Chain A
């Protein structure tokens, strides 16, 4: 029995019926010890779409990304990537699926003991037999793309939070992944860098056809780039609204969703 009403808006210009599902989350629950974070969550992400996961802090957004990337196993439910069950997949198949992912972690996840350049090179060093100079050339291109070509020989501890995020993004992009998972990519960035990040995301999506799944608090960027979004509420332990961000902002009946998308305070805490 549903505890809340789910509002779903699909903008008319999206022909979802014909699109391929790349990620499917089927009644997934996650608990840490006694504490349940997500309960019976269901949604899917389509090929070549920019999909946003939104919600208050602690609502389980990062947890959801870890589920989709196989770094965390659900307590209940199924996760399908390209139709393959992530939990059931054997070692080889799992590795093959992972190679098509690029992940930017909330804390960047840069390896502290090696330089920025090596960090960006690492996925290709590990996965391919390309010459080191060639990998370096590719890494330099990605670092250029995020505006950090001058920082190659620095160590992660010498960078600001926003710079680390951008290095993490360069590393996530180096394999030209099919699916890019971004956890709060614009946090710690100045408005100008955040705007060029939006541009980069759209460009990757248009030119390389990369599916992008991003966790974000940055409403401006969500309205600008995301085609579809889900809103998580920590109290209700799951999705409370799903659809095009702009339409959700205008038409959502859910009080929490209205407050969230219009950046308004909630008078009484929602329960």
Chain B
């Protein structure tokens, strides 16, 4: 990658002289240093670090221009040597070497401290990701198909780590409050409305099964789908649309990145993982909303509410809802990204893309919900 130079490719950038037990090592710098020699210099210095000498002496005979990248590399190793208790000395043009290398050494010292917190966040994200992937793996065969589909293109490359965990946090965790709140309110309203009807038949207790059935079979997945289509579908579209306008997408393509793999897949995967989990939250909070009304207004005890609730709860409904949610997640992610990538010119088109993504996303969720309902009947 670093272009080979015409004449300096075979010349070593450093000469290394050590006593036989590697107690002290003299590193003679041999200018002119060319960028094609950096990789060699790097591995030579790394080799010295591994030998763990007591002392290292950098030596430079004649004054020469050292490229910045090279002095930064030296600074990096001086920093590492000193951290590992290796004494560092300078010879020849001692003062010149000391000032140049010290300057870049300082960069690495401050840099490492700053970097720590950043890497930590990424680490947590990746663990979360692994855990989430584990959950999905246990799901139905569509879930497995999904993973198979996603695993091949998702080979984490050091240049784009953290893309998935970022999306997961934004869609999944960011969506929790709104989904829970809306579902709770929905549960409250449904219980309240039905309490009037049920009272006429003296069947108040069935408010529990009504809410359980409604939330697990239909309303949990579809409400979550609609909310996330509004919340994340639009954000995918505007994020990618903005990236198109600012030529980030072109830049990534020109660097040889696969846009689908780097930008679209993580978002689709993240929403396919988040949606079923959010849908479970929604189902739970809807039922809680019913409980609140049942206990405070209808005079039902919490125990009987829960008993009735568990009687009508079917495991199949939960699986089916999960399957639906995964489909909704893929649809919302796919549509959002697709609309975003269609943006070509003008800031207004980003807004349009976001609106279109929401409309199409909600439509797709309802359409597929109907398809699932038909499947269930005629299967």
A residues with a Cβ closer than 8 A to B are: 32, 66, 69-71, 95, 98-99, 101, 103, 105-113, 122-128, 130-134, 136-138, 140-141, 144-145, 153, 171, 175-176, 178, 208
Contacts and interface: CB of A to CB of B under 8 A. Distances in A.
A126 B159 contact: yes
B281 interface: no
B248 interface: yes
Interface stretch (B23-31, B69-77, B197-205, B311-319): B69-77
A124 B247 CA distance: 19
Interface string B220-261: 000000000000000000000011011110111111110000
B1 A175 contact: yes
Given A99-B256, A105-B250, A208-B3, A130 B73 contact: no
Q: Which 7 A-B pairs have the closest CB atoms?
A: A109-B251, A137-B72, A141-B68, A109-B247, A141-B69, A105-B247, A126-B159
Contacts of A145: 68
Given A127-B1, A137-B73, A140-B68, A101 B252 contact: no
Contacts of A130: 1-2, 38-39, 42
A176 B1 CA distance: 8
Given A125-B158, A175-B1, A109 B69 contact: no
Interface of B: 1-3, 35, 38-39, 42, 46, 67-70, 72-73, 76, 104, 107-108, 114, 157-159, 166, 242-243, 245-248, 250-257, 344
A126 B72 contact: no
Nearest to A119: B251
Given A105-B247, A112-B248, A141-B67, A122 B254 contact: no
Contacts of A103: 250-251, 254
Nearest to B76: A133
Contacts of A71: 250, 253-254
Given A105-B251, A126-B257, A127-B256, A176 B72 contact: no
A67 B253 CA distance: 13
A72 B170 CA distance: 32
Contacts of B67: 141
A144 to B, nearest CB: 5
B1 A124 contact: yes
A136 B42 CA distance: 12
B159 A109 contact: no
A137 B79 CA distance: 13
Given A125-B159, A133-B76, A98 B254 contact: yes
A111 B68 contact: no
Contacts of B158: 125, 132
B89 to A, nearest CB: 22
B256 A98 contact: yes
A71 B42 CA distance: 35
A65 to B, nearest CB: 10
Nearest to B163: A113
A69 B256 CA distance: 12
19 contacts: A69-B254, A70-B254, A71-B254, A98-B256, A105-B250, A110-B246, A110-B251, A112-B246, A125-B158, A126-B255, A127-B256, A130-B42, A133-B42, A133-B108, A137-B38, A137-B76, A140-B69, A141-B69, A141-B72
B69 A138 contact: yes
Nearest to A181: B254
A184 B252 CA distance: 19
A138 to B, nearest CB: 4
A101 B254 contact: yes
A66 B250 contact: yes
Contacts of B344: 32
A137 B251 contact: no
A66 B252 CA distance: 13
Contacts of A106: 247
A144 B251 contact: no
A109 to B, nearest CB: 3
Given A105-B247, A136-B72, A122 B166 contact: no
Given A107-B246, A141-B67, A208-B3, A113 B251 contact: no
Contacts of A122: 159, 255
A128 B248 contact: no
Contacts of B243: 112
Nearest to B253: A71
Given A110-B246, A137-B72, 6 more contacts: A109-B251, A126-B256, A134-B38, A137-B73, A140-B104, A141-B68
Given A131-B42, A153-B114, A111 B251 contact: yes
Contact of B69 (A110, A137, A153): A137
Which among B42, B159, B243 has the greatest number of chain A C-beta atoms within 10 A? B159
A133 B107 CA distance: 12
A133 B250 CA distance: 27
B4 to A, nearest CB: 10
B240 to A, nearest CB: 12
Which among B1, B73, B246 has the greatest number of chain A C-beta atoms within 10 A? B1
A110 B256 contact: no
A136 B107 CA distance: 11
Contacts of A171: 251
B248 A109 contact: yes
